[in-house]
Amino acid sequence: MEVIDLLGYAGALIIGLVLGLIGGGGSILTVPVLVYLLMINPVTATAYSLFIVGTTSLVGAFKNMQKKLVDFKTAGVFSIPAFIAVYITRMYIVPAIPDHIFTLFGFEVTKNIGIMLFFAIVMVAASISMIREKKNKVETEEEIKFNYPLIIIEGVVVGILTGIVGAGGGFLIIPALVLLAKLPMKKAVATSLLIIAVKSLIGFLGDVQNLEIDWMFLLIFTTLSVIGIFLGIYLNKFIDGKKLKRVFGWFVLVMGIYIIWKELF
């Protein structure tokens, strides 16, 4: 096994570790690890990412269920439009993207380059969400009132985004649950993991019919990521997750800018 492969599998452990430590954000590393370290085609990498992110999020969701932090009704209302959108995106929209998208000033934007550039933009947006300081508010239990039209629109947007880039989209889901369903932050984070798990795994089903899946590799990579989650949850007792989240946010920002530079130049 080459050094680059070892780094790729170490990346799987780090993805889970970050998810365990800060409760989200680690999935944004999955596609870059698969594409740049393990040399997997971006379309296949986004498919694998859905399975990896979905499975690891499901593990986190089960732990939150034991703590009674998951709001199942809210998860159901948000998940249905999201998983329909992500399935349609993986089954029909991604395969329909042409190999040659357009040419600008002599630079050809291919399907692979387009996906990675779009992914980098999502990384930058996610990093800003992690870096920004949020004032601590005293959380009170409010009666959950669903703004159904906005929840459906948000679910569809998150589903399409997840389908294209293969990331969980927690940085979009959590604010939506807080603002549109009036969930306290802890419940929003816990519930978002269940939503991410459901829509990611259902989205992956759209790929099983279109792509040749290397199941052995995928299961090994996912297992390492799950081990990383348990390690992260254990280390979370000794490390300040909020400070770590900001540091990780800066790292994701640098990664996003690097991907844009690498794909364009």
What are 231-240's pLDDT values in tens digits? 887 887 787 7
Contact 252, 27 (CB under 8 A): no
- Check residue 143 and give its pLDDT: 61
CB 52 within 8 A of CB 207: no
DSSP 91: I
Using only C-alpha atoms, the chain has a radius of gyration, in whole angstroms, of: 18
DSSP strands (E only) in 64-197: 100-104, 107-110
Task: Report residue 99's pLDDT band, with 50, 70 and 90 as the boundaries.
Answer: very high
**What pLDDT does residue 48 have?**
94
* pLDDT tens-digit map of 39-59: 999 999 999 999 998 898 888
**261 residue type, one letter:** W
pTM exceeds 0.85 for this model: no
**In terms of residues, how long is the chain?**
265
Tell me the pLDDT of the chain averaged across its residues: 85
CB neighbours of residue 216 within 10 Å:
8
Q: How far apart are CA 134 and CA 263, in angstroms?
A: 33
Using the predicted structure, report yes or no on whether residue 34 has a pLDDT greater than 60. yes
Nearest by Cα to 228 from 64, 15, 22, 50:
15
pLDDT of residue 134: 63
Q: How confident is the model at residue 135 (pLDDT cuts 50, 70, 90)?
A: low
d(CA 93, CA 1): 36
User: Which pLDDT does position 26 carry in this prediction?
Assistant: 67
